[in-house]
Chains A and B, each alone.
Chain A
Amino acid sequence: MNIIIILILISLSIALVFLTIFIWNMKSGQYDDTETPSIRMLFDDKPKKKK
């Protein structure tokens, strides 16, 4: 049954990794604005006209 201890530790650490990623995302401001990026990605850059 020792395997269950290892499994539990692995599952706990994976969960911790996800928690850390979430906290990281939050602090880097990914959830601050959920609307504009969806619009921004649709803008095309026009090739610059030669004058």
Chain B
Amino acid sequence: MSELRMPVEEKLTCFHCHQDCDEDVLWMEDKAFCCYGCKTVFEILQENDLCDFYTLDEQPGIQQKNPVASFAYLDEPEVRAKLVRFESKDFVRVEFSIPTIHCVSCIWLLENLHKIDSGVIRTVVNFSSKTAVIDFNPTKISLGELANLISRLGYAPRISLDESPASKKKFDNVLILKLAIAGFCFGNVMLFSFPEYLGIDASEKTLLTLFTWLNFGLAIPVTFYCGQDYFSAACKSFKQRQINIDVPLALGIAVLFLRSAFDIISNTGPGYIDSLAGLVFFLLIGRWFQSKTYESLAFDRDYKSYFPLAVFKQEGEDWKSVLVSNLKVGDFIRVRNMEIVPADCVLHDAEGFIDYSFVTGESRAVHIEIGEVVYAGGRIIGKPVELQVQKKTSHSHLTSLWSNGIFEKKDERVYARMLDKIAHHFTWIILGIALISAMYWFVVDASQVWLVVSAILIVACPCALAMSAPFTFGNMVRVFGRHGLYLKKSDVIERMAKVDAVVFDKTGTVTHGDADVKRVGEFSANELGIIKKLSSFSTHPLSAMISKSIQQKSAVEIFDYRELPGKGIEGIVDGKRYRLGSASFIGHTANDSSKASYVYISIDGHPKGYFQIETNIRAGLPTLMIQLKNKFIALLSGDNDADRSRMGLFFSEMHFNQNPHDKLSYIETLQAKGNTVMMLGDGLNDSGALKQSDIGISVTDDTGIFTPASDGILMGNKVAMLDRFLALSKSATRILKISFVISFLYNIVGLSFAVTGNLDPIVAAILMPVSSISVVGFATLAVNFSSMNVFKKV
């Protein structure tokens, strides 16, 4: 075995996870491990004689470097109740979603879990859906311990309490069941109809009657079980005094069935049972195929999991910015003024103020004390607070706050509204056409009437039309999300296509990055530490730069912290009032040198000096401005006009020393002139302007400011791509128009065949799903193609 030991000069790879080992290599016998976690897994496996794990597949192990979260909260009764599928005294069945399942060894290890812990009775892994159903004995191992066990092995389950995958599966199963029955009936009906097609001897009249009655018997489950959805959807729409696209379909099925029933019962003919069964069968196939297509094309429902919301998490001595989705239960986080609490937490500081206006709509700061529970979605006011995470963040909760109706902008979904209108009139027009052709065919060839009517009703179904808009925009939202712009709703794209004025906030949007910070004035080390701490409380970009530039640390406590938008911040330390902010706020004479931004400091009313900050313009911005030159571009800044000369090259209009209200009214003026305004800002002191603008985008680097009033969140390093996003939103509307034309063509061509009696209802039933799928496919391909074209230039 000792040959396996690699020479130390070479890069060591971990025996368990096959990742390169860092400097601290752990040895066990002759195997190297990159971290304690990987070694533990190996020990567990070895102890239980499960080392087959390493031989079944290549690289089966998952790195264990990141500490594993505790799943103890799963033992809470209400959490447990949501997860457990079946429960008795000594038997519990639970299904975990385990995203890290990736190879044969994973299946093997999880299914041998009972060898590691005797409390586990049985595990069944579903490889394709990456889930495991685990039966265990609750008297030997609790749910939380079980989850801890599998996460120690590297298979941390993903717990989500709000989704229920079971209901989706049930729907699929019902559809397949209906499809199976319809197929069975259709096949047999065709068989019994053969004698009819081929012409049967008149002497075998009894046989013919038998066949027709058998057909009729088969038609009953087809109509009343397989076609049930269409009837119930139609009934529902009648109840709402509307006519939806299911009405013509239901009517078509009903017409065929009633007419056939009449024929058969009155013994006047065989009816149209073959058409009826075929129609329902193909409609269901279409439906099933559509649902499969949508599943594979489905907009990443997970795009929200990249939701770019960051929060400061304590790591040792330091505070590091991490994505909200990486938060674990038990982490300590710091939430600053105006930032959103990302998860349900317990307050760790003595006190704080929180505003639940996003949740309740009522803007009022609530006083909270140590140990009190703070719910996700609250906004911290004033002094930053330290919180301990109690529950994993639910993105769906945060995003649902974002889409809360309170923050809804005026409805400008032109296309969606147009569609609603069309769909409404469409049905009436179809019914009219069907009636007129029925009268015509009654005169010309009465036997054709029923087939023609049902063919018309089915082929005219405008579902392709109805699907083009959600698919085009939905896919575009996904493309945007992939490139760093997260939109609240897909109809924002529609408005984006019409943008003709773009307003930028300066700090944090146009300027960003490593700034030159110069300190002017005498400060003691202690004072610097206090300034660092005070400025770290604020989310303003300048504060962040100041805080970053100071090395000294201070453990003092800051009382009475306040943040005054557009002015500065203040707090009391050791009985002295520290202020950071604009010259007027501090009472300092303003510095005229127009090259930098200045933040002035005063202690107890005495000006102490200032910080001179020269910020850099974001990379790529000059090119962006050239790209946007056919639009009206303006700059709004709360700062002095230090940057006027530097920025003047790019902007059509610039306004400095703007307070939040000025920004808002500037947007209003632009809108009054008839412009469609897009506003980009950091969302702190321009949230009013973001809300007022037609499209408000908050630009984020690593702050947790979350402005529900905004329509989108743009990653700071993607600001320079704005022109591409705008171009893409234009092509999205173009694609939508083309899809409209395609689906209209389908309907018109299909209708003309149907009216002239050249279209069998079965062909119509095949044509219908084909048309929707082709339109959906076109929309998806076109969106991806144009986005590839636009982003290729990167």
Contacts and interface: CB of A to CB of B under 8 A. Distances in A.
A4 B195 CA distance: 12
Interface in A20-45: 22-23, 26-27, 32-36, 39-40, 42-43
B207 A26 contact: no
Interface string B454-465: 000000000000
Interface string B148-177: 000000000000000000000100010011
Contact of B210 (A5, A40, A46): A5
Interface in B56-84: 56
Nearest to B218: A12
Contact of A26 (B125, B173, B210): B173
Interface string B174-192: 0011001100100110001
Contact of B180 (A5, A19, A33, A36): A19
B108 interface: yes
Interface stretch (B126-134, B274-282, B425-433): B126-134
Contact of B207 (A1, A27, A46): A1
B188 A15 contact: yes
A32 B128 CA distance: 10
Interface string B721-765: 000000000000000000000000000000000000000000000
Interface residues of B, number: 27
A37 to B, nearest CB: 9
B207 A43 contact: no
Nearest to A5: B210
B204 interface: yes
A33 B129 contact: yes
Contacts of A12: 188, 214
A34 B127 CA distance: 9
Nearest to B112: A43
B128 to A, nearest CB: 5
A22 B180 contact: yes
Nearest to B187: A15
A46 B181 CA distance: 46
Contacts of A16: 184
A15 B49 CA distance: 50
B52 A46 contact: yes
Contact of A23 (B125, B180, B192): B180
Contacts of B214: 8, 12
A26 B127 contact: no
Interface string B191-218: 0100000000000100100100010000
Contacts of B108: 43
Given A5-B210, A35-B127, A36-B126, A26 B177 contact: yes
A26 B207 CA distance: 36
B292 to A, nearest CB: 14
Contact of A35 (B49, B128, B169): B128
Contacts of A5: 207, 210
B188 A36 contact: no
B128 A36 contact: yes
Interface of B: 49, 52, 56, 104, 107-108, 111, 124-129, 169, 173, 176-177, 180-181, 184, 187-188, 192, 204, 207, 210, 214
Interface of A: 1, 4-5, 8, 12, 15-16, 19, 22-23, 26-27, 32-36, 39-40, 42-43, 46, 48-49
